[in-house]
Amino acid sequence: MGGVGEPGGGPVRLGAPLPTFRWEQIRPHNLPGDKWLVIERRVYDISRWAQRHPGGSRLIGHHGAEDATDAFRAFHQDLSFVRKFLQPLLIGELAPEEPSQDGLQNAQLIEDFRGLRQAVEDMKLFEAKPAFFALLLGHILAMEAQSWCLQHDLGHISIFRKSRWNHVAQQFVMGQLKGFSAHWWNFRHFQHHAKPNIFHKDPDVTVAPVFLLGESSIEYGKKKRRYLPYNHQHLYFFLIGPPLLTLVNFEVENLAYMLVCMQWTDLLWAASFYARFLLSYMPFYGVPGAMLLFVAVRVLESHWFVWITQMNHIPKEIGHEKHRDWASSQLAATCNVEPSLFLDWFSGHLNFQIEHHLFPTMPRHNYRKVAPLVKALCAKHGLSYEVKPFLTALVDIIGSLKKSGNMWLEAYLHQ
Ligand SMILES: [Zn+2]
């Protein structure tokens, strides 16, 4: 047994018997720049090392002159790794007659708590399930997508009695949560609703010469236009369609729109999104890291946006103005995707695209109710009311791109 250590202690030599301390000798070492603590009956001088403590010097300092055994176990996952850092700080151990606790604490409670901790460790309750957190992350990302849906709803319908508040709410969701302009969205989206799948009227299908959809494929072929290998457009779609739409097209379009149309309020809202994003993430990842994260988030949301919004339109008739009545023109350009609780939520009810296009100002929670009535009208007039499974709808996007590409090639080579 080593003798009682001198106040002030000092690093112990390997192999030498450990000096021992009584609590009354330890207690004074709770000053700035002079801190000891006790872990598993061993005494450590953390005075200088506290500055290097990964959890911060304040946190470890809060346990100055205390028995920090339970705090040590509570905070550190890999105890054997952390003990390596403790070794050079060891200055002694508690004298054998000293209690493990540092004051008038309930020794039985401390012992029972340690027993409980051991039991839950044995039950492996500290082991995280990655799938749980992956699901949580997926949920958060899906909620991001929901802000697109919400601003879309706010653009169409009146949630507030005064339309002005409706618009302010849309500006907030679109500007502060997404970094885009509500006016730009409405300018573009209402044209899409007015004339879905009509060239030069619906901006969503006015995508030539990058992609050829519907009637444009034969026209380009006949005129021997070949700006891109359109017979491979279903392949390069994966490179420049879903990954880049919001990151490149929307960013450029938005900035141009806000400046040219002098939408200063929208510009301020969008700036507030970037300020929030950079202020939130720059302290953690620096400027390059925050920018990289921004690009990653945009690319991810862009995938959701393209697949969900195009599954209802791209595979349908696309061409020049036919001057049809409202119902026929909307039905020719839209199809539905089979409803389910998941898909209704995930797509923001855009799986009920037919109902949405016939009645754009109807709140989406009522689509299920109106759907049978719409179906009946279609049956009566021999109009196609197309509903398909989710995966088929996604695959059909690629199928129709491939079909248009082949039609272009055929016309290009032989007409
Ligand atoms: Zn809409």
CA 24 to ligand 1 centroid distance, Å: 74
CA 139 to ligand 1 centroid distance, Å: 24
pLDDT band at 1 (very low <50, low <70, confident <90, very high): very low
Torsions phi, psi of 387, nearest 5?
A: -130, 130
CA 227 to ligand 1 centroid distance, Å: 32
CA 379 to ligand 1 centroid distance, Å: 24
pLDDT band at 75 (very low <50, low <70, confident <90, very high): confident
CA 210 to ligand 1 centroid distance, Å: 24
Domain ranges of the chain: 20-122, 164-414
Q: Is the pLDDT of residue 357 over 70?
A: yes
Please give the Cα distance from 361 to 152 (Å, whole number): 11
Q: Which residues pair with 232 in a beta bridge?
A: none
In this prediction the pTM is 0.68
Task: Give the model's pLDDT for residue 107.
Answer: 86
CA 153 to ligand 1 centroid distance, Å: 7
Please give the Cα distance from 271 to 199 (Å, whole number): 33
CA 152 to ligand 1 centroid distance, Å: 6
Share of the chain above pLDDT 90, in %: 64
- Inter-helix orientation angle 182-194/163-171, to 10°: 110
Task: Give the model's pLDDT for residue 3.
Answer: 42
CA 146 to ligand 1 centroid distance, Å: 14
For 20-122, CATH gives 3.10.120.10
pLDDT tens for each residue of 183-222: 999 999 999 999 999 999 999 999 989 999 999 999 999 9
Q: Are 327 and 190 in contact (CB under 8 A)?
A: no
CA distances from 270 to 207, 219, 294, 301 (A): 25, 39, 14, 17
Q: Which of 56-60, 250-254, 351-355, 368-372 has the lowest mean pLDDT?
A: 56-60
